[in-house]
Structure formats: C-alpha cells, structure tokens
Amino acid sequence: MIKVILISMRPRQWLKNGFVLAALVFSRGFVDSSKVGRALWTMAVFCCLSSAVYIFNDVVDRRRDARHPRKQGRPIASGLLPVPSALAAAVPLAAAGLAGAFLVSWTVGLAGSAYLVLMLLYSLILSRIAIVDVLVIALGFILRVLAGGLAVGVGISNWLYLCTFLLALFLALGKRRREVGDRPEAASGTRPQLSLYTGSLLDQMISIAAAATLMAYALYTLDGRTRAEVSPLMFLTLPLVVYGLLRYVFLLQCRGAGEEPERVLLSDPALLGTVALWVGAVVVILSVAGAGGGG
C-alpha cells in the first residue's frame, strides 16, 4: 500500500517544484543558509500539495485512465489503490502541505492555499475548458515562484514572472500536443477535453509560446535594469536557453516526447546537460556580480 501511494504521489514530477527556488537563486539568497532552508522547506511543502492534487486528479479521472493505453497502469485506475485509501492519503498530504506553508509565513500559506484550490478546480472543471486548461497550469508555476519569493523575503521581478509563465505555457502546450498525437479522435476517447484541440492548432500555439519565451528571456537579459541590478553578463546564458527550447521542440516534433516534461528532461542527456549548464552559469554570474558589488 505504501508503495502504490508513493507511485500515485508521482515523485518524478516534484522536479516542477524547483521553480520555488527561482527567487532564491536570482536574489543571490543561496549564500544565506537560513534563506536556503526556508526555500527548501517551501519546495517540500509544494511537493506535498502537488502530490495531494495528483492523487485527487487520478481519483477523478480513474475511469477514463482505465481506458488509456499508458495510464491504465496507474494504481488508482488499475484498482491497486482503492479510492477511499487514495483519499485517505491525499487529505493528510494536503493538510501537511498547508500547515508547512503557514509555518513559513502567512503569505506563503496563502500562496499554497491558492495553488491547492486552483489545482483542485483544474481537476474538477477547468481541465475541460480549452486554452483555460493550459493557462491554469502556467498559473500554478507562477504561484510556485511567488511562494518561493515570499519564503525568502525578496521582491520578484516581473521578468521572472513573465518568463516562468511563458515557459510553463510552452511545456503545457507540448504536453497537450503529445496527448492529442496524430489521432485526436482516439485521444478524445479517453480524455474528451482533448477533442477541443487539433494537432495543427497546438503546433501553432507551441510556436507562439516558444517564440514569446525566447523573446521575453532575451529582453530580460538585455534590459538596462537587469544589467544594473542583476548582472551585465546575463546575456551570456541566452544561447543555452535558445538551444534548450529548440531541443525540446525537436524532441516534441521528431521523437514524440513531451507528454511528461519531467521524463523528457531526465531521459535526454543533451537537454539535461543544457539545463545543468544554465543553472551553473547563472549561479556563477550572480556570484561574480555579488562579489563585485553589483546587483
């Protein structure tokens, strides 16, 4: 039972909660052990909250998942984890997550509460509304970034919000594209909301989101305020972002990846290496700027 509950918590998807650490990194808070502790605690809080949402979502979608060729093996859809046991695991996870969030601060608690309510509404209603579904997913990432900023007590740049939103939107659209696949009529049989999309429509949306993400990040690195308050060297990370996004589009279009972004990241050495290089470059650039009195 513990094993199937852990599987239903989807620990691989906890990677998404790394966005909580964005404010810590860009504020150079990684040199302050107390800020690091609060940020990691907040990340753990969102792991609890997101796992509770995943379990609840699997309960809601269990009959449709049972007809899905890949999702039918999930513990709840397959019957390995009964619904009462699943809910008995989800409720304490959600309660622990909210309690942990309010232990950080009441503002982090409100951000965690907003995330939980938004994602529950997504599972029940919003996932069935075209375009709104992917926008809600992107807003979930915004709330992660917001909670991370509140946890370490720093203001968050509008650029960070914008880049996070557009990147999350890009990933969500890519996920929808692979779910629809080349046979939308077959996909809609297990998930009716996918009938709202077509492959060509999603391809256009992905192109728009990718272009907007690249443009937003490029403008951020070249912005006068960024150069003055963060570092004039941030533009050096732009080629990594360009390659990373284009690599993801390549995997999406040519390799049929994208239905699980975290799996794509962990299974593709080129993409994983690019992300690691970008993180390392940002930390080094910010450390140099901080040591030189910039920012």
Render 13-59 in DSSP notation, one character per residue: GGGGGGGGGHHHHHTTGGG-HHHHHHHHHHHHHHHHHHHHHHHHHHH
Instruction: Output the pLDDT for position 155.
Output: 83
pLDDT at 292: 43
Alpha-carbon gap, residue 246 to 186, rounded angstroms = 28
What six digits make up the tokens of 157? Answer: 């740049």
| Residue-level pLDDT at 254 | 87
Q: Which residues of the chain have pLDDT under 50?
A: 186, 291-295
pTM for this model (two decimals): 0.89
Nearest of 59, 46, 52 to residue 14 by alpha carbon: 46
Beta carbons within 8 Å of 166's beta carbon, 6+ residues apart: 138, 209, 212, 213, 216
Number of CB atoms found within 10 A of residue 37's CB? 12
Angle between helix 83-104 and helix 33-60 axes, rounded to 10 deg: 150
Contact by Cβ (8 Å): 212, 166? yes
Q: Largest alpha-carbon pair distance within the chain?
A: 59
Residue 110, helix vs strand vs coil: helix
Report the alpha-carbon distance of residue 176 to residue 260 in Å, rounded: 10
Total residues found in the chain within this entry: 295
